[in-house]
Amino acid sequence: MLDQLIIGFDKALRTVFAPAGTVRPVPGGDLPEAELSDEEKRRAASLMRVNHCGEICAQALYQGQAMMSRDEGIKRALEGAAQEETEHLAWTERRIAELGGRKSLLNPLWYGGSLAIGMLAAKFGDGVNLGFLAETERQVEAHLKSHLDRLPEHDLRTREIVVQMKVDEAAHADTALRLGAVELPGVVKAAMKASSRVMTGVAYWV
Ligand SMILES: [Fe+2]
Ligand SMILES: [Fe+2]
């Protein structure tokens, strides 16, 4: 148990403070940098800060689920998704730096909150836990879709990252469903939407 805690704590510190790695090449990484006005750069960097923040939360959710689940099959099946979340973290981080932006100052807070929520969801058993993951991934997918409307049209280096993340999140939702996710009550889904609105709203600025 103590080992688990130490490993978890180490993971948390690395997630929030160390650069993430990627196996797949960064989507759009070979495209030329677009001519962007200062306002466009700021907007793209702010949106990517929100997405980076979402990926910090995803790390916490997947880590919480791996710590709490007793089903080795489910744990293994979710490892691939968790690995892709780490890549998303790396891609958004890199793009924020390219755009001259910065990461959210509140990342430790978002991480801690998400870990707590993830561990709470896990208490209700694997079905609910997976349902929570599936619903989170669906909401993130919808959110990324809305970013494609707000990002500068010609900022392809940013857009390609968001497009690939959106594809991955949809696949993660499918994985959770395949593993036996239960459908959450509407009121829970609404509460999740409301809290993610707070996070995305704040992270756009801070
Ligand atoms: Fe992600
Ligand atoms: Fe995901």
CA 57 vs CA 12, 34, 83, 98, 175: distances in Å? 11, 30, 14, 22, 18
pTM of full prediction above 0.75: yes
CA of residue 34 to ligand 1 center, whole Å? 24
CA of residue 137 to ligand 2 center, whole Å? 5
- Residue 125 zone, left/alpha/beta (φ > 0; ψ -120 to 50; rest): left
Is 16 exposed, middle or buried, given 0-12, 13-18 or 19+ CB atoms closer than 10 A?
middle
**How confident is the chain (206 residues) per 10-residue block, as mean pLDDT?**
68 75 91 95 96 92 85 86 92 96 92 88 88 93 95 97 97 94 91 87 88
Question: What DSSP designation does 184 have?
Answer: P
Residues 44/155, Cβ–Cβ less than 8 Å: yes
- Only one residue has tokens 């599936």, namely 134
Q: Which ligand is nearest to the CA of 57?
A: 1
